[in-house]
Structures are given as structure tokens and as C-alpha cells.
């Protein structure tokens, strides 16, 4: 007999993205921010990502001195070496990064080399506060000037920022200046509320999204990540490959200007 409560067949990203999936934004390392509190939590996330078909993941702990202690990049690298050493060939590969809260010291910190880069290139993952006006009007110009110096800005979870939810022309301007727009996967299924969900799908539909990431803080949300990937695949398999495999792979490899973009 057919078990009446059998789960819907689980979507397998490997069938669609042969290179595997790539995650440029996660809080998988323990004890650094609001990610897992212990090492076992980190291993659990890695196991979950592996099962979903992730080949590489960036550990991007929050860099937000108002909320969390500032960590030396070396501390992040040491934690990565610790778990990577135990796992050997078992994926996903972990690369270092950080999610930088934009503030008045951003440019100074960037110039003095204290900001964590995302992957192998001159790329920085930047987030803003949730309040209206958190993205300064001059930020478009900042992004453009940095691009001229070969420095790329990835805007973390663009769909969750009030300023971009209210005015998507700003997304266009930022992208014209070279900004790369990242969407959180769980936004696609309402994980961050209705406005974020609406904006995420609008950005996808008008081609303004450049990559999708897990932004995972614990393994508890792994099923929701799987569900979100399934929704994305159902919407457009080619876009799933571009957003969850090709583009994050290029960014993490340091080829951030080679990503496939809809203009
Ligand atoms: Fe994050």
C-alpha cells in the first residue's frame, strides 16, 4: 500500500546543478556570532548542506561591533581548519568570509584591511540595519567608486532591507554601479515575513537577483532551505543553477565580475 502520509519526493539539486550548489552567506561556525553555540552545531549544518548537494560554503560571521565581539580573521580561519581537518574530503568545502554591518567606519576599515573578504577575490558581503534610511543615499556612489578599484560589494539579503523593499529603483542603481544582490533562500517561502517574500520574488522575476544563499544560523532550518530550493527549481531550473551554483561559485573563486547577470 502507499503510505498515506509519505512525504513529497525530496527535490535533489544534484539532478539540476552538476557542479553542486555554492553558498556565499552562512553563520555555520560556532561561538562567533548568533550561529551555533557549539562545534556539534557546526558539524550538523555541514552534514545538512552536504546532503542538499552543497559543494562549497562561505562562513560569514557577523561583523557588527554593536552586537558581537570583533574577531580576527585568523580566528575564523582556525575554526575552519579545525572542522575541515576532521571532515577530510567530506564536503562542503568551507571558505572564509564575513557579513559586514555597514557603518561610518566602513571605508576606513576597508582601507586598513581589517574587513573580511568574501572568498578569494576583492569582494565584501555587506548588510544594513532594518530601519528606514539604513542604506545611505550616497551608497550607490560608494559602490561605483569601489568597483572602479576592482572591489565588489555583495548586498546581503537585499529583499529584507526596508529601503529596497520600498524603492526597487535603488536596486537598479546599485546594480548599475556594480553591486551584486544576494537573496536569502528562506525569504522565498516567507521565512522573513510577507514584505521580504514579496520583494524576493519581484527581484527574481525582474532579473535583479544575482545569487541566493542559505544565511543559515543552525541546522534546524535545513528543511526550509530544501523547500526554498524546491520552490526556486519549480519556478525556473536554469535560474536555480545561475543563482545557487554558477554565480556564488564564481564569487567565492574570486571571479566576481564574471557572474551571469540580467541587465
Ligand atoms: Fe547573515
Q: How far is the CA of 5 from the centre of ligand 1 (A)?
A: 34
**Cα-trace Rg, the chain:** 18
pTM, two decimals, is 0.94
Grid cell for residue 170: 535603488
Q: How far is the CA of 62 from the centre of ligand 1 (A)?
A: 7
Q: How far is the CA of 127 from the centre of ligand 1 (A)?
A: 8
Sign of the CA dihedral with 32 first, then 37, 38, and 41 last: negative
Q: How far is the CA of 169 from the centre of ligand 1 (A)?
A: 24
Show the domains of the chain with their CATH numbers.
Answer: 19-254 (3.20.20.140)
pLDDT tens-place values along the chain, 263 residues long: 444 444 455 667 888 898 999 999 999 999 999 999 999 999 999 999 999 999 999 999 999 988 998 888 899 999 999 999 999 999 999 999 999 999 999 999 999 999 999 999 999 999 999 899 999 999 999 999 999 999 999 999 999 999 999 999 999 999 999 999 999 999 999 999 999 999 999 999 999 999 999 999 999 999 999 999 999 999 999 999 999 999 999 999 999 999 999 97
d(CA 113, CA 92): 28
Q: How far is the CA of 216 from the centre of ligand 1 (A)?
A: 7
Amino acid at each position: 500500500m502507499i503510505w498515506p502520509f509519505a512525504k513529497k519526493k525530496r527535490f535533489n539539486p544534484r539532478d539540476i546543478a552538476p557542479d553542486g550548489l555554492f553558498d556565499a552567506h552562512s553563520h555555520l561556525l560556532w561561538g562567533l556570532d548568533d550561529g551555533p553555540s557549539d562545534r556539534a552545531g557546526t558539524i550538523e549544518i555541514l552534514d545538512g548542506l552536504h546532503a542538499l548537494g552543497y559543494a562549497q560554503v562561505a562562513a560569514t560571521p557577523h561583523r557588527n561591533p554593536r552586537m558581537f565581539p570583533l574577531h580576527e580573521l585568523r580566528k575564523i580561519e582556525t575554526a575552519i581548519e579545525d572542522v575541515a581537518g576532521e571532515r577530510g574530503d567530506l564536503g562542503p568545502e568551507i571558505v572564509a568570509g564575513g557579513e559586514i554591518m555597514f557603518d561610518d567606519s566602513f571605508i576606513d576599515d576597508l582601507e586598513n584591511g581589517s574587513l573580511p573578504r568574501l572568498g578569494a577575490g576583492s569582494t565584501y558581503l555587506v548588510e544594513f540595519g532594518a530601519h528606514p534610511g539604513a542604506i545611505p543615499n550616497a551608497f550607490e556612489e560608494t559602490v561605483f567608486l569601489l568597483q572602479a578599484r576592482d572591489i565588489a560589494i555583495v548586498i546581503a539579503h537585499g529583499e529584507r532591507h526596508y529601503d529596497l523593499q520600498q524603492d526597487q529603483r535603488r536596486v537598479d542603481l546599485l546594480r548599475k554601479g556594480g553591486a551584486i544582490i544576494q537573496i536569502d533562500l528562506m525569504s522565498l517561502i516567507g521565512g522573513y515575513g510577507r514584505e521580504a517574500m514579496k520583494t524576493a520574488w519581484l527581484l527574481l522575476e525582474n532579473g535583479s537577483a544575482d545569487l541566493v544563499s542559505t544565511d543559515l544560523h543552525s541546522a534546524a532550518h535545513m528543511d526550509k532551505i530544501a523547500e526554498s530550493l524546491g520552490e526556486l527549481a519549480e519556478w525556473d531550473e536554469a535560474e536555480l543553477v545561475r543563482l545557487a551554483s554558477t554565480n556564488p561559485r564564481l564569487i567565492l573563486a574570486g571571479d566576481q565580475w564574471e557572474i551571469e547577470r540580467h541587465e
